[in-house]
Amino acid sequence: MEKVIIIGSGGAGKSTLAVKLGEVLGIKVYHLDALYWKPGWEMTPKDEWKLIVSGILKKDSWIMDGNFGSTLEMRAEAADTIIFLDYSTLRCLYGIFKRRIMYHGKTRPDMNEGCPEKLDWEFIKWVATYKRKKAPDIQARMERLREQGKEIYHFTSPGETARFIEKLSNNRRVSA
């Protein structure tokens, strides 16, 4: 597990998992939101974005959290491990509202400075429909990637994810 991508709905906890996994594995974490969004929530141009992601992919090891469909294929191709957080819609909606309250008027640690936490109707709608509209395609893609020899983890609850991190952490301690 040297090159890991973490995908899933907003509010699922991708960034939190990335940090924990980075600590356990000793691998640098790249929060794609922090790299993509410039101060004032300005988007990075597509060609510049692909160059940023390509630069990370050339490194010996990395953990990247975030969806960003425009670079998902290239990230999945370069990754040896893909983690899909496929939590319930209610759990993810709870996550985005909790995050909005926790970081009201502030920038989250996994975001670029100048991007204070916000919550708009489009994002709420995206999270609310993610499980129905996005997850089936991702599941199918994960199966194809598994057939190509990628290590795939498909977690459907935070508890399942926590047990994975705990087991991984225990295994690292034993082998150290």
List domains and CATH numbers for the chain. 3-175 (3.40.50.300)
How far is residue 168 CA from its own chain's centroid?
18
Q: How far apart are CA 112 and CA 36, in angstroms?
A: 8
pLDDT in tens, 46-84: 999 999 999 999 999 999 999 998 999 999 999 999 999
What would you measure as the largest C-alpha separation in the chain, in angstroms?
47
pLDDT in tens, 83-128: 999 999 999 999 999 999 998 888 888 888 889 898 999 999 999 9
Partnered with residue 82 across adjacent β-strands are 5, 152
* Strand residues in 37-145 grouped as ranges (E): 37-38, 42-43, 62-65, 81-85
CA dist 64 → 88, 102, 152, 155, 171 (Å): 22, 23, 15, 17, 22
The pTM for the full model equals 0.93
